[in-house]
Amino acid sequence: MKPLTPHPSPLTSHHAALVVFAKAPTPGQVKTRLCPPLTHDEAATLHGSFVLDTLERTKTATTLFKLPFDRYLACAPSSTHVFFKIMEERQSVTLLDQTGDDLGTRMAQVFENLFSRGYKHVLIVGTDVPALPLEQYTQALTLLNSHDLVLGPALDGGYYLIALNRSVPDLFTGIPWSTDQVLKLTQEKASTLGLKSALLAPWRDVDTIDDLQALVEASTLDAKRPKRDQSFSSRTAGALQLLAKRLRSRA
């Protein structure tokens, strides 16, 4: 990965919001598909590191790339959780509550909330892509100048990022969340709704032990690069290597 070079924002007259969707790192409530072989405590610690990575990298996007978005953290189960209060103070993000019975409802309500505040572009990103290149945010904003919808495909058939120019609640209904049909059905629904859509480059998120092992390998390769070119935080890289060592001993 080459060093990132700051450049002018792709937006000149609009205001954008970037929302990080996150759960509190509560053992037994996050990354449960990794358990076993991970313990619930290990999975929660890893998840917490991913949340921090996403907040730190998006903060860098606003300072290095000068991208004109306000950052929000959409919290579950509640923005009153002490973890989120710490993130609010240390990462300079505005907290929102996730409300709704499923992921689609929660995302739809966040979009509606922020568009009602006057934003022209709203992006939602998950926390399972800790090394996502900052260029993805730049590209998403650029694509929103000529598209209604931008999706970042995940390798498991879902998406790691979704961006819209207006609230479209119907886009999130009737989708079987947490399946390999999410991206495909969302694209089909977007077409039915008359939305012009675009795709970012695919990226692997972390849901299964195979995903975790792939991330460990990526972080090992990343550590061999010059520090200025590394994508993983030292915190997450260290956590991944420690988990890899523990998994080998358990095997």
- C-alpha to C-alpha distance for 172 and 107, rounded to whole angstroms: 8
Q: What is the pLDDT of residues 38-60, one digit of tens each?
A: 999 999 999 999 999 999 999 98
High-pLDDT (> 90) share of the chain, %: 86
Residue 244 has a pLDDT of 94
Pick 46 or 10 by higher pLDDT. 46
Domain locations in the chain? 16-205
DSSP class per residue in 2-40:
PPP-----S-SS--EEEEEEEE---TTTSSGGGTTTS-H
State the pTM of this model. Answer: 0.91
Yes or no: is domain 16-205 CATH 3.90.550.10? yes
Q: Cα-flanking dihedrals φ and ψ of residue 22, to 5°?
A: -145, 150
| Tokens 């931008």 belong to residue | 150
Element (H, E) at 164: strand 159-164
In the prediction, which pLDDT does 197 show?
98
CB contact burial 179-214 (16+ within 10 A = b; e otherwise): eeebbeebbebbeeeebebbebeebbbbbeeebbee
- What is the CB neighbour count within 10 angstroms for residue 28? 12
Whole-number pLDDT of residue 65:
74
pLDDT at 12 over 80: no
Find all residues with CB under 8 Å of 251, minimum gap 6, and list them: none
Q: pLDDT, tens digit, for every residue of 63-81? A: 877 888 999 999 999 999 9
pLDDT at 13: 36
Residue 6's pLDDT is: 35
Residue 74 is predicted with a pLDDT of 98
Which residues, listed in sequence order, are joined to residue 69 by a DSSP beta bridge? 16
Per-residue tokens: 186: 């969302």
Res 8: pLDDT: 35
Query: For residue range 78-135, what is the model confidence (pLDDT) as tens digits?
Result: 999 999 999 999 999 999 999 999 999 999 999 999 999 999 999 999 999 999 998 9
Average pLDDT score over the chain:
92
Q: Please return the burial class of 248, using the count of CB atoms within 10 Å of its CB with bins 0-12, 13-18 and 19+.
A: exposed
Position 165: which residue type?
N
pLDDT tens digits for range 203-230: 999 999 999 999 999 999 999 999 888 8
